[in-house]
C-alpha cells in the first residue's frame, strides 16, 4: 500500500483494523451490547475509507454496518457516511490531538427509513486504543447517547 497522502495525514492515526465491544441504548429500545470491527484504510489519495460492522455479543449475528470516507480540509475533519438503514450523514468538526468531535451538518434518509435528525460522534485514540461515543436525535426523541465502545488496533 502507498503511504498516506499528505492531504489526509492529520487523520492517519485512524488507519488500522480496530476490534472491540460496545453498548447501545436509547429511549425507544432495550439496552444491548455488541462486538465491533472498524477498518480504516486508504488508496494513497487524500481521503480515508471506513467500514464498520457490529455483531450481537452473544449470538454473533450481524447488527449494524456503515461505510464512508474521512476528509481533511486543512483545518477540519469531514466525514460522509452511508448506512443500510437508509441513512446518510455529512459531519464536520474539530480535531484536537487525537480527539475528534464531529456533528452532523446534514442527515438524509430514504422515504422508508426511520427518522434521524442530528448525530454527534466523539472519537478518542490513545496509541492503539479507540474509544467513541455516538449520540443522536432520532424518531422524535431529544439528542442523547446511543452507543459507546472501546476498540483495540490489531
* Site for a second copy, rule CB under 8 A: 43-45, 47, 49, 62, 65, 67-69, 71, 73, 76, 78, 80-84, 86-90, 92, 105-106, 108-113
Smallest distance from a second copy to CB 108, Å: 4
Provide the β-strand partners of residue 4.
Answer: none
Tell me the closest approach of the beta carbon of residue 24 to a second copy, in angstroms.
17
Residue whose cell numbers read 486543512: 74
147's CB contacts (< 8 A; 6+ apart) are 22, 23, 24, 132, 133, 134
Task: Name which of 112 and 140 has its Cβ closer to a second copy.
Answer: 112
Q: How far is the CB of 134 from a second copy (least distance, A)?
A: 17
Shorter beta-carbon distance to a second copy: residue 15 or 87: 87
Question: Residue 111: which region, alpha, beta or left (left: phi > 0; alpha: psi -120 to 50)?
Answer: alpha
User: Which whole-number Å values give the CA distances from 95 to 4, 14, 77, 101, 108, in the listed order?
Assistant: 18, 12, 7, 7, 24
In the complex with a second copy, which residue's Cβ is closer, 71 or 131? 71
Nearest distance from C-beta of residue 125 to a second copy, angstroms = 21
Closest CB to a second copy among 29 and 43?
43
Three-class SS state of 129 = strand
Amino acid at each position: 500500500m502507498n503511504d498516506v497522502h499528505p492531504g489526509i495525514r492529520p487523520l492517519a492515526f485512524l488507519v488500522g483494523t480496530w476490534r472491540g465491544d460496545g453498548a447501545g441504548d436509547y429511549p425507544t429500545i432495550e439496552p444491548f451490547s455488541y462486538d465491533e470491527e472498524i477498518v480504516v484504510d486508504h488508496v494513497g489519495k487524500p481521503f480515508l475509507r471506513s467500514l464498520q460492522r457490529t455483531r450481537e455479543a452473544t449470538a454473533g449475528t450481524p447488527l449494524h454496518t456503515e461505510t464512508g470516507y474521512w476528509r481533511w480540509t486543512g483545518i477540519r475533519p469531514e466525514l460522509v457516511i452511508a448506512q443500510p438503514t437508509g441513512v446518510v450523514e455529512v459531519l464536520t468538526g474539530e480535531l484536537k490531538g487525537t480527539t475528534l468531535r464531529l456533528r452532523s451538518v446534514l442527515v438524509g434518509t430514504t422515504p422508508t427509513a426511520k427518522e434521524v435528525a442530528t448525530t454527534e460522534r466523539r472519537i478518542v485514540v490513545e496509541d492503539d486504543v479507540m474509544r467513541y461515543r455516538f449520540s443522536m436525535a432520532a424518531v422524535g426523541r431529544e439528542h442523547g447517547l446511543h452507543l459507546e465502545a472501546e476498540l483495540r488496533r490489531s
